[in-house]
Chains A and B, each alone.
Chain A
């Protein structure tokens, strides 16, 4: 499977015509309902078994966007899949049942953005302490937010 075949297949199966990216990457935006089915499709059909990373972007009033990159290391193409959660929404299906690597990555997303991944087996803070208040990578979280007793 090449990158172009994969792009065509995505268009056929999910009706997503907007496939971007360069010669080695496919960038797709998936509706949040199809998030888990799409990941399964990427892993089983497209051969993207390598879980690269998962993160999120805070687009302020447009809401949060979850970004996951998976790779097909044999065919050497990557798939950057995104989903918009919508304004004020902070729940997203978890990909841990599909990729085990999503475990720590989604914990980090929860830690930094407060996104609740539904179906995650162990959703705790990972980098910050358990008693931390707020989610630092949200745009609404100022860099100099005081956090007693540390500062």
Chain B
């Protein structure tokens, strides 16, 4: 037996007020990763929130200063581990721009295919976990979650047969891509894309004809256009708040101008608007994959084939801010090269970091239950927030 007398009021800190401080996280069933929200509650209403991040911080920016341009892309995928293709993409784009390295057309198309498949995989995980947040692991949310994971597996299978890895790929490299598609891959990919397309219709029906889902998603977590721009949120959140900004359209990179796709914009700015944007993006991504597979040109997959040493890629002095439209928004890489084999300075602009920064502005005034719905609709990946 311990000799320490148990205290009755360890956590309540009852000061006579009606306020309760509640920790949501860092270990909490609905924290996507390790995120701690310190909520101040008045009954069920949230009156204040302080976000604590950094639990997954690895200082990628310092790390990249010690790794060469050939080494870092496969580390870059560890920032946003749910959509690992995206961050590799941003890094190699920045290096290529500074070094003025041409990328063969085939490589550009392969990059687009992977980026779009990755967006689908990431959105599938988002849809599943968001519903899981709202519906609970022991309720209707788990049903959607399991359905979504089933489809995400198919996409990961495609990546596995292409790269050999299922989560962190290292597919992009400066000058092109590391691998070409194996025989038969295009057919499997087409089948998967068609299947997912059909299944998404199913989920859409299941959710949008469900009054409880609508009650939870509509009118919750409003982000005005002004706030959205001021905080710098991007991706589906920004488009859900009425800003038609998609980098694939605004600043086409990697031959995105060749493809025909639609940029969905919703003006409501609530959780449901963000949901709608992502549901349309699913379809558009699948459409882009189909087009890219149809028109995939022959040719080399890299302008710098046969990597022989880690210091092979030399980038002259210069700086560039390269950005790609990731699943969660603008993933940017601000690279400063000093002419050596390693960058002088590299800054990650993680989409989740900026998106998460909007939470303290929108959560107060909502109920506790809405906090998880809003957090899920923001779709943060903490590897990218904390980098």
Contact = CB atoms under 8 A, between A and B. Distances in A.
Direct contact of A and B (CB under 8 A): yes
A114 B294 CA distance: 52
Given A67-B334, A100-B361, A101-B357, A73 B245 contact: yes
Interface stretch (B20-28, B139-147, B176-184, B347-355): B347-355
Given A57-B336, A126-B54, A127-B57, 5 more contacts: A52-B232, A73-B229, A73-B238, A73-B250, A100-B361
Contacts of A112: 61
A41 interface: no
A50 B61 contact: no
Given A51-B230, A136-B62, A127 B386 contact: yes
A137 B349 contact: no
Contacts of A101: 230-232, 354, 357
B250 A76 contact: yes
Given A73-B243, A104-B353, A126 B53 contact: yes
A52 B349 contact: yes
Interface in B316-366: 321, 330, 332, 334, 336, 344-345, 347, 349, 353-354, 356-357, 361
Residues of B contacting A: mostly: mixed
A80 interface: yes
Interface of B: 53-54, 57, 59, 61-63, 66, 226-227, 229-232, 238, 243, 245, 250-251, 321, 330, 332, 334, 336, 344-345, 347, 349, 353-354, 356-357, 361, 386-387
Contacts, number: 82
A69 B319 CA distance: 14
A16 B358 CA distance: 33
Interface residues of A, number: 32
Nearest to B386: A127
Contact of A25 (B229, B230, B321, B356): B321
A49 B229 contact: yes
A58 B62 contact: no
Contacts of A25: 321
A129 B36 CA distance: 13
7 contacts: A53-B354, A69-B321, A73-B243, A100-B231, A104-B354, A112-B61, A127-B53
Interface of A: 24-25, 49-53, 55, 57-58, 67, 69, 73, 76, 78, 80, 99-101, 103-105, 112, 125-129, 136-137, 141, 143
Nearest to A55: B347
Given A52-B330, A53-B334, A127-B54, A76 B321 contact: no
Contacts of A143: 62-63, 66
Top 3 nearest A-B pairs by Cβ distance?
A: A127-B54, A101-B232, A51-B232
B251 A53 contact: no
A55 B62 CA distance: 13
Given A53-B347, A55-B347, A24 B251 contact: yes
B243 A51 contact: no
A23 B263 CA distance: 23
B357 A104 contact: yes
Among A24, A80, A127, the most chain B Cβ lie within 10 Å of the Cβ of A127
A126 B334 CA distance: 20
A78 B245 CA distance: 13
Contacts of B245: 50, 73
Contact of A51 (B59, B66, B229, B347): B229
Nearest to A78: B321
Nearest to B225: A49
Contacts of A24: 251
A141 B321 CA distance: 25
